[in-house]
Amino acid sequence: MSLMTERTATASAPATRWTPPGKAYAGGRWQETTRTTAITDPETGGFLGEVADSTAAEVGTAVDALVDTFRVTTAADGTDWPLWQRREALHRAAELVKQHAERFTGIVSSEGCKIIRDARREVARAAETLRLSAGAGHALQGTSVPFEDTSLGADRLGWSSREPLGVVAAITPFNDPLNLVAHKVGPALLAGNVIAVKPHEATPLSALALAELLLEAGVPGDRIAVLPGGPIAGRELVSHPGVDVVSFTGGVRTADEVARLAGARTLLMELGGSNPVIVDHGVDLVSAAQAIAEGAFGCAGQNCLSVQRVYVVAEHYEELLSHLTHATAQLSVGSKHDESTDVGPLINTAAARRVERRIEEAVARGAVVRAGAVRQGATYQPTILTDLAPDDPIVTDEIFGPVVSVLPVAGLDDAVHQANRPAAGLQAGVFTRDTTAALRTARRLRAGAVMINDTSDFRIDAMPFGGFHRSGIGREGVTSAVVAMTAPKVIAARLTSIS
């Protein structure tokens, strides 16, 4: 395998340099493109590699090639790469990711914002996602159609099968540069689609490295493209008339633009949200506070499942706040390359300044800082805010940074009312010892998933993943994505002869 990793030292931390076989992958081969961009470690500035800055013409050519591939394989009944071969290729890919875990860990951590321990966990999850994708063939089962249940169909026999939709355009974010690519590529390939990935412009190396591995695992080269680039490449990809499905993970404003450009075609969108956690009477407040600190400040808050707001019954408010402040103070803030670091930098200094500005605005509106609110370059200290109005923007709007707001509530009814206020409901958590209250609260919360006696920051890669309101469209998670990237086709046979 040519996925070679070179460790090079910088003044403050090691960097992982990996040279892709080409600047992009399209048309069944590695490409040298007309425009390129350098990828650097956002913490150290160390050079990591050079990739394509794909032009609209290059993206168009790549998608045209995928369209041709899908048309040819459809005309040939898909027998050139049947389901069992797709399954075996994805199984091999999962094993290869595990074999090369440290190499992938270095790439993920160096080009992105994850501390080394979180990068290692992401690589393990990517292997799991590919394994689950390989095993998702059950989602392609068809059903019989009861034609005999109506007089119009009495002389017919029929069934439905799930068929691939065609060309999938995938746009992925910087915060999970490997596993979120796997979450789009694995289900798309298993379902029989072809796919073009445009990774985030800051973190394309993970996607290119995964493409190299997939080819080694047996994925036909003409069924996948990886097209690094910026907004020009993204706009061309989602608006290309040959694209059948757009799978996007990112922010709401970009999603609105993607939807406008894509028009009337299948859209899958995971857009994050301001995730709530509720703390009821009688729970272990020390454990709850520890879980909240980990859920709010992991990955420096750059996580769509990150805990952003905590609603605590009023009589336990000060105690929970005290424990949370203590747990936050115990977190080690430092270099993402240091194994002892709990909270590393944001993706860049501009992101940290954006968080800093939002905190300053909240303080001007009356918020009280209980911890943090200090920026050093791209690092922002884990921050706890109180004394906020329930509809303050720092509470209701996604921050994507290491900030959590803590608010007192009269009880569970009040907590549910407050938690459901924002126009995005991805995931939520509720801590309570009352089983009936837990289930009742979970049912009333408008969120795609509710974690009982845990925070919003929990997910396994097999579960349906998505939310309500402005948190997105459809559901990811391997089996859900396979279903979303296919559609039922009905075949009906007339049993009586036509004279």
Cα separation values, 237 from 55, 244, 261, 291, Å: 10, 11, 10, 40
List the catalytic residues: 270, 304
Candidates 231, 282, 239; CA nearest to 262 is 239
- Nearest-5° Cα angle at 124, 484 to 200: 60
Q: What is the pLDDT of residues 465-493, one digit of tens each?
A: 999 988 899 999 999 999 999 999 999 99
Average pLDDT over residues 197-219: 98
Average pLDDT over residues 193-199: 98
Lowest mean pLDDT among 3-12, 87-96, 357-366, 400-409: 3-12
Cα separation values, 409 from 145, 291, 389, 451, Å: 52, 20, 12, 19
Q: Where are the beta strands (DSSP E) in 253-364?
A: 266-270, 275-279, 307-313
Average pLDDT over residues 302-322: 97
Q: What is the pLDDT of residues 67-87, one digit of tens each?
A: 999 998 876 565 689 999 999
Q: What is the b/e burial string over 380-401, where b = at least 16 CB atoms within 10 angstroms of the residue's CB? A: bbbbbbbbbebebebbbbbbbb
Contact 323, 285 (CB under 8 A): yes
Say how far apart CA 191 and CA 319 lie, in whole Å: 51
Candidates 270, 273, 293, 271; CA nearest to 403 is 293
Contact 91, 134 (CB under 8 A): yes
In percent, how much of the chain has pLDDT > 90? Answer: 89
Q: What is the pLDDT of residues 360-398, one digit of tens each?
A: 999 999 999 999 999 999 999 999 999 999 999 999 999
Contact 300, 346 (CB under 8 A): yes
Q: Which helix (H) or strand (E) holds 362?
A: helix 349-364
Average model confidence (pLDDT) for the chain?
Answer: 93
Q: Which amino acid is at 76?
A: A
Beta carbons within 8 Å of 51's beta carbon, 6+ residues apart: 20, 23, 24, 36, 37, 39, 204, 205, 208, 228
Say how far apart CA 136 and CA 477 lie, in whole Å: 11
Q: Which helix (H) or strand (E) holds 403?
A: strand 403-409
Helix (H, G, I), strand (E, B) or coil at 80: coil
Say how far apart CA 236 and CA 92 lie, in whole Å: 32
Q: How many CB atoms lie within 10 A of CB 499?
A: 3
Q: What is the pLDDT of residues 160-177, one digit of tens each?
A: 999 999 999 999 999 999
Q: How many CB atoms lie within 10 A of CB 65?
A: 18
How many Cα neighbours within 13 Å face the side chain of 221?
Answer: 11
pLDDT at 201: 97
Average pLDDT over residues 207-219: 98
Q: Pseudo-torsion of CA 109, 249, 81, 165, nearest 10°?
A: 180
Q: What is the pLDDT of residues 336-357, one digit of tens each?
A: 999 999 999 999 999 999 999 9
What angle, 0 to 180 degrees and rounded to 10, lies between the N-to-C axes of helices 179-190 and 205-217? 40
Q: How many CB atoms lie within 10 A of CB 484?
A: 24
Average pLDDT over residues 31-39: 94
